[in-house]
Structure 1
Amino acid sequence: MTKAFFLRGANYARYDLDDDRVDDGYPKSISVGWSGIEGTGFESDVDTAVELGDRKLYFFKGSSYLRIDEDQLAVDGEVRDIGGAWGGFSAAGFSDALDAAVNWRNGKAYFFRGDSYIRYDIAGDSVDGGAASPIAGNWPGFSEAGFTDGIEGAFLSDSGKAYFFRGGSYLRYDVVGGHVDDGYPRPVSGNWPGMDEAGFSGAVDAAWTAAGASTPVTPAGSQLTAGDHVWYFNGRTSTAPDIPRTTWFPGSTGPTDYGGHGKEIFQFVVHADGTIFRGQPHMRGMPGTFAWLNNNPGNITGGPGGPDYGQYQGKFNWHNFLIFPTRDAGYNAIAKFLQTASCPNRGPYRNLSIFDAFGCYAPASDGNDPAAYAQSVADAAGVPTSTLVGDLNEDRMRLMQDKIAEVEGTVPGDILTADSAELPEEIRSRL
């Protein structure tokens, strides 16, 4: 059951997105909701909040932030400066105040301040591009809705829609389509049952959902089904999108610091044919990349409620990579994606040149060289990079698919079954 949370002043409300109403007994005091928060300065008037998928919730206020452990519902550490802990925020001018934040569940989070925003790479702890961009012109429909300044809160739902709040109004944004849905903005009052009574139909201070809880991954300890993935280390398991680094390796100083145990960590992916793929996708040069584990040679990403490319529905790996039942299904999905999907702010891939398409398919912000990528796939297909994706015939598209699989790095790992001696008992017992 998915919950959204709203802060206003010294209180918070919990909203049941499935039942579409504020839960009974709310609002409650922020100090009651999370132990240890009293005396930190975060008991009221929080600027914004975001959950980054690691079961840690972050409250921001002025130039400071506070981390909360969601499993313990308790403060986790001291109040710290934003500028000294969040990579790139100072340089982007986002270290002394924030208005809103939202986890996009694809390895990125967006932070808003005034009329500007930044895109934050969660694993890389860095601001993409290093600078802020204006909301106007970059978020289709926001200008028409009057949401180019002063956004107060935002969250992403499991339906593939994002909700943004400002001054008692809200808009619904279609993540896949990259646009504000028709008929928005609308008033919170009358559209969010119970918010009036709770005193939350006007301005809000923050809004979020617990991304780790609402992303459709298998809860720890439950039965594993086709399409599920599991991280494994020394008897410990996790179905979170990323390795629970700070929990497994206290004192870890960065996204690739596994306390010297990186080669002892494995990921297992369960497939419908009874096989279990094993690899080490977090380690450069090691067998079993994400593209292989997921039967996804194009490393296509998606989200809840996204298009059906033949993947296991509702199952996602790190970076929201789709997981497919067979390699052929994942291979065929590359062509289907390029023929039917759209690049945000640029339109359908099929209407773009190969050069422009791969600037979106493999953006530089993800560590790619899109110009080189475009040149390599165009050369493989025997066409110039100016060729429209939609003009590629089936044979040339297949040549391009082969090159994409090569570039993405489909490095095989191990294929196991439920009775394989190498399969840890902690995973075997859940099959």
Structure 2
Amino acid sequence: MGIDMFCEARGGSKSDGALSLSWYTKRIRPSNMPRVPFVRKGAAEEVFSGDPAAVRALAKTLKSGVSIPTVYVPSTDKLYLMLMPDSTYLRCQLRTRKIDENYPLVFADYWRGVKAAGFEAGISAALWWDSDTAYLFKGADYLRYSLKNDKVDEGYPQNIAVRWDDFADTGFSTGIDAAFRCPPDWSDSDSKPGDAFFFRNDKVILFRGGKVAPGFPMKIGDLFPELGTAGVTRVLAAWASPHE
């Protein structure tokens, strides 16, 4: 069990302030075992495999500094990565991190209702919520997508500040870079099953029990010290992973 992220860093242990983009993973162990810190794994080309054109499309989007909304569906072990500059998306088997054949595909052609809602492009973050629900965020608005019915739910999009309590007070109601939710079998002393983390610029908030938890927002590096040491300034993609 763990958290996977693509992060943007500036400087870190180097003094030149150069921009770098790397994948980090944090493994979570049972409470009676040592916790494993974030570990740098490398760039997109080193982490994902599959058709070279698909891997290059992912790397190109990351290098542009644009967020990559991600939805991981535990029941199928499929990870969806949305490449918004091209309005396309990739799908991969998360255990192998191999991108499926014939991707990328046009996002609006396969995610029903996103075009009518004005979400065929420009989405900045996505959040898997449960076996039936994913949320897509764009600017100050969001929509709810039914994974069971494979379409946008009626009545969306809506304003983030209306549905997500305290987001306006924390500066997160006008845009989100990335988000992930802890699944039901999560085991970690710092978070609980159902907790959701949202990232915007160099800040992070914890959404617990229907509201932002006290003490948030925090600097990403303060909540995740290993990322702070690495000079991480933004999280571009994040998802909870069951795999080692």
Judged with a 3 Å threshold, the aligned counterparts in structure 2 of structure 1 residues 138 and 150 are, in CA distance, closer, same or farther, namely same
Report the CA distance between 1:43 and its aligned residue.
1.3
TM normalised by structure 1 equals 0.46
Match of 1:66 among 90, 95, 100: 90
Task: Note if 1:192 corresponds to 2:203.
Answer: no
CA positional deviation for 1:131: 2.5
3-state SS, counterpart of residue 190 of structure 1: helix
Gaps of 5+ in 1: 215-431
**Aligned-partner residue type, residue 34 of structure 1:** F
Measured after TM superposition, the shift of residue 149 of structure 1 is 1.5
Aligned to 2:195: 161
Q: Which of the numbers 23, 26, 51 marks the counterpart of 1:15? A: 26
Q: What are the within-5 Å matches in structure 2 for residues 147-296 of structure 1?
A: 147-157=172-182, 158=186, 159=192, 160-174=194-208, 177-200=209-232, 202-210=233-241, 213=242
Deviations 1:320-342 (Å, cap 9, x if unpaired)? Answer: xxxxxxxxxxxxxxxxxxxxxxx
| Paired residue secondary structure (2:229) | helix
- C-alpha contact (below 8 Å) 2:2/2:28 kept by paired residues: yes
Residue number in structure 1 paired with 2:2: 3
Q: Larger RCO: Structure 1 or Structure 2 (Cα < 8 Å, ≥ 6 residues apart)?
A: 2
Q: CA deviation at 1:27?
A: 4.1
**1:344-355 mapped onto 2 (5 Å cutoff):** none
1:52 aligns with 2:51: no
Which residue number in structure 1 is paired with residue 111 of structure 2?
Answer: 86
Match of 2:135 among 105, 110, 129: 110
**Residues 22-77 of structure 1, C-alpha deviation per residue, up to 9 Å, x if partnerless?**
03xx1411111111264321114252212022111111112110111113220112
Aligned residues: 206
**CA RMSD across the alignment:** 1.8
Contact 2:205–2:212 (8 Å) recurs in 1 = yes
TM-score with structure 2 setting the length: 0.79
Q: Which residue matches 1:30?
A: 44
The structure in which a higher percent of residues are helix is 1
Q: Give the greater-gyration-radius structure (CA).
A: 1
Partner AA of 2:43 in structure 1: S
CA–CA separation in structure 2 for the residues paired with 1:120 and 1:149: 20
Query: Are 1:142 and 2:158 an aligned pair?
Result: no
Partners of 1:20 and 1:187 in 2: CA distance: 21
Structure with more of its chain in strand, by fraction: 2
Matched residues in 1 for 2:175 and 2:83: separation?
A: 15
The 8 Å contact of residues 204 and 216 in structure 2, kept in 1 or not, is answered as: yes
Q: Is the 1:92–1:130 contact (alpha carbons within 8 Å) kept by the matching residues of 2?
A: no
Q: CA deviation at 1:152?
A: 0.6
Kindly, what percent of the aligned residue pairs are identical?
Answer: 28
Q: Which of 76, 93, 100 matches 1:76? A: 100
Task: Decide whether the 8 Å contact of 1:87 with 1:127 is kept in 2.
Answer: yes
In 2: Cα distance, 1:27 partner to 1:193 partner: 17
Per mean C-alpha deviation after superposition, the further-off stretch among 148-157 and 68-77 is 68-77
